[in-house]
Amino acid sequence: MGLLAGENKAEVVPEPAERVVLKKFHTARYLHTLKDAAEGKFEPDALGMGIGTPDCPVFSGMYDYSAWACGATLTGANLILSGQVDAAFNPSGGLHHAMPERAAGFCYMNDVALACTVLAEAGKRVLYLDVDVHHGDGVVYAFYDRSDVMTISFHETGKMLFPGTGFEDEIGAGQSKGYCVNVPLPIGTYDEAYMKAFNAIAAPLIKAFEPDVFVFELGADALAGDPLAHLHLTNNVYADIISTLRGFDKPILATGGGGYHIGNTVRAWALAWTILAGGEDKHDMSIGVGGVISESTEWQGGLRDRMLVVSKQQQEFVTSAIDTTIEKIKNAVFPIHSL
């Protein structure tokens, strides 16, 4: 589709993240154990670090793959810091579940936590926005006591889905209370309800925080048809959010994340990049069927998903849950920011 090159666009070859950089988030002990496991030396404490579990199996090249994925996100962060670009996208990144000393949820190294760290070290106020269907726990808890990095995570409620965290009352600790925002969503959440929550919570908080840069974890597993989750979104939500972020006129470092319906995920990220790069979806003129509606990967109708039908029952259930969540967050967080 010509999205990787052209006026004001380029594909950049990343460098793998160096060990010294990885240690800004991960412990030396963990990195050592991970590298050993990748080379076939499985240490007894590896399992305790989540290495070799069903979600995070051992495979050769696992260390290098993770270091490359982190390196790509950090390459984007550095291009933004040097002022060379105002948007960068690493679809291989967004490994938000990795903890300092634990692999979790298909994530071995946390590129997004590292990027937020590097940007904050450069003196930037960082707004981390996570729209992956799973709670962005690894990043959220890394900055739980810091007010220079605000984290906002929209996700399917932890009552239904891994990792089981990210409720409205998790708002940060001590001086940073109010700089951690969690928006749990009910099953069946659809576009209009999602954007209602986004506009009611994220938009005013971003405005109040006045970030210098966005780190945007764009997992596509919140789309309808994803086999691992239960939300009911179309990719128009991602397009709308990116348009809103672009309106703040600050650099955006975007990454991929989850997304287990491959066809829908690829299309969502292609659309996201189109809009991030400042273009509109010009391929959207034909009328098509398929995509999220039929969960077909043989989509011929442009990048945007067609509207989904929402039943009255679904509408009532979702709206009532989301209204309660919005109220809880407004009460707990908004006064801290004089909103």
Catalytic residues: 97
Nearer Cβ to Zn ion, position 225 or 258? 258
CA gap 127, 214 in Å, rounded? 5
Contacts 24+ apart (CB under 8 A), 244-248: 244/198, 244/203, 245/129, 245/206, 245/214, 245/216, 246/275, 246/276, 246/278, 248/206, 248/207, 248/211, 248/214
Amino acid letter for position 118: V
Residue number, nearest CB to Zn ion:
258
Q: How many CB atoms lie within 10 A of CB 262?
A: 10
* Choice from 219, 225, 256, 291 touching Zn ion (CB under 5 A): 219
Torsion 221-223-228-230 (CA) sign: positive
Site track for Zn ion across 141-180, x = CB under 5 A: ----------------------------------------
Of 132 and 137, which has the nearer Cβ to Zn ion? 132
Q: Distance between CA 149 and CA 229 in Å, rounded?
A: 28
Size of the site for Zn ion (CB under 5 A): 5
Q: Which helix (H) or strand (E) covers residue 45, if one does? A: none
Q: Which is nearer to Zn ion, 134 or 304 (CB)?
A: 134
What is the closest distance, in whole angstroms, from the C-beta atom of residue 161 to Zn ion in the complex? 9
Residue closer to Zn ion by CB (options 107, 118) is 107
Query: Closest approach of Cβ 107 to Zn ion, in Å?
Result: 9
132 binds Zn ion (CB under 5 A): yes
Coil vs helix vs strand at 319:
helix
CA-to-CA dists, residue 25 to 42, 73, 141, 286, angstroms: 22, 14, 12, 46
191 binding Zn ion? (CB under 5 A) = no
Applying CB under 5 A, the span of 106-114, 129-137, 178-186, 189-197 interacting with Zn ion comes to 129-137
- For residue 282, CA distances in Å to 275, 276, 278 come to 10, 14, 12
Is residue 94 within 8 A of residue 136, CB to CB? The reply is no
134 binds Zn ion (CB under 5 A): yes
Over the window 230 to 269, marking each residue x when it contacts Zn ion by CB under 5 A and - when it does not, the resulting string is: ----------------------------x-----------
Query: Nearest approach, Cβ of 39 to Zn ion (angstroms)?
Result: 28
Binding positions for Zn ion, 57-116, rule CB under 5 A: none
Query: Nearest approach, Cβ of 97 to Zn ion (angstroms)?
Result: 8
What is the smallest separation between the CB atom of 331 and Zn ion, expressed in angstroms?
A: 28
**Which one of 142-150, 221-229, 265-273, 277-285 is the stretch in contact with Zn ion (CB under 5 A)?**
221-229
Decide whether 104 or 119 has the Cβ nearer to Zn ion: 104
Smallest gap from residue 31 Cβ to Zn ion (A): 24
What's the CA gap between 256 and 265, in Å, rounded? 9
Judged by CB, which is closer to Zn ion: 163, or 204? Answer: 163
Joined together, the tokens standing for residue 229 give 């989750």
CB atoms within 10 A of CB 337: 14
Phi, psi at 102, each rounded to 5°: -155, 130
Per CB under 5 A, residues contacting Zn ion are 132, 134, 219, 221, 258
